[in-house]
Amino acid sequence: MSPDFPSAHPDDPHYISRSGWLRAAVLGANDGIVSISSLIVGVAAASSDQTSILIAGLAGLVAGAMSMASGEYVSVSSQADIEKADIKREAAALKENHKEEFDELAAIYELRGLKRETAEQVAHELTEDDPLRAHIRDELGLSEHQSANPLQAAFASAFTFSMAAALPLLAAFFAPSDAIIMTVLITTIAALIMLGALGAKLGGAPIVPAAIRVLIWGTIAMAITACVGWAFGVTLD
């Protein structure tokens, strides 16, 4: 909520303004945990050389963080380009067909439950000072809280990927050479649960369903990795 307006429940704020960076952060962290754990498990299943395992994990961490950053930046930039193009078209339409655009906005309010007269009055008052802003918000469905921010998404994703990927890498580093796979798997499960809980906490969502969801999908990814190893005659012993 904007600081210009008082909140009816200041002790229970909305978290929609966090949706942009929180989505990228959770995505990066989840990918970091699962991909690096899977990489370490795969390499450890084929080789017991701890140095090789750690080098592979570190290389995966660096490459993954750069990939997440560039991927988020490119994808969110594409979203931002679409938003800017739509805003530009809407601005041009307001100049060329002001009456038609006004009627369209009033119709939107009418569809939301207002009487026609009330909808026209609301449209008139909201467009009196800044008509483009009203159309961007109510016709295009865009707001400053949800607008695409490529740099923010890229940094959040790369940072959380690196921090999360470091967990299975550290587990492999400190684990006995004959227990790397099991140590990494246990660390991964714990990390996935914590990630789901933390993401839900930061977003003001229920913690248990989020933790279970992240754990299940992360475990599925790890199980597929184990199945690939078994398919080539490698066990987790």
Q: What is the pLDDT of residues 137-171, one digit of tens each?
A: 887 777 665 566 788 888 888 888 999 999 999 99
State the Cα–Cα distance between residues 211 and 190, nearest whole angstrom: 10
Show Cβ contacts of residue 185 under 8 Å, excluding neighbours closer than 6 positions: 37, 41, 222
All structural domains of the chain with their residue ranges: 16-231
Query: How far does Cα 191 stand from its chain's mean position?
Result: 17
Taking the CA atoms of 169, 172, 173 and 174 in sequence, report the sign of the dihedral they define: positive
Q: What is the pLDDT of residues 37-69, one digit of tens each?
A: 888 887 887 777 889 889 989 999 999 999 988
What amino acid occupies position 144?
Answer: E
State the Cα–Cα distance between residues 78 and 91, nearest whole angstrom: 20
Count CB-CB contacts under 10 A for residue 28: 29
Asked which of 52-56, 99-103, 126-130 is least confident by mean pLDDT, the reply is 126-130
Angle among Cα 195, 199, 203 to the nearest 5 degrees reads 170
- pTM, full prediction: 0.69
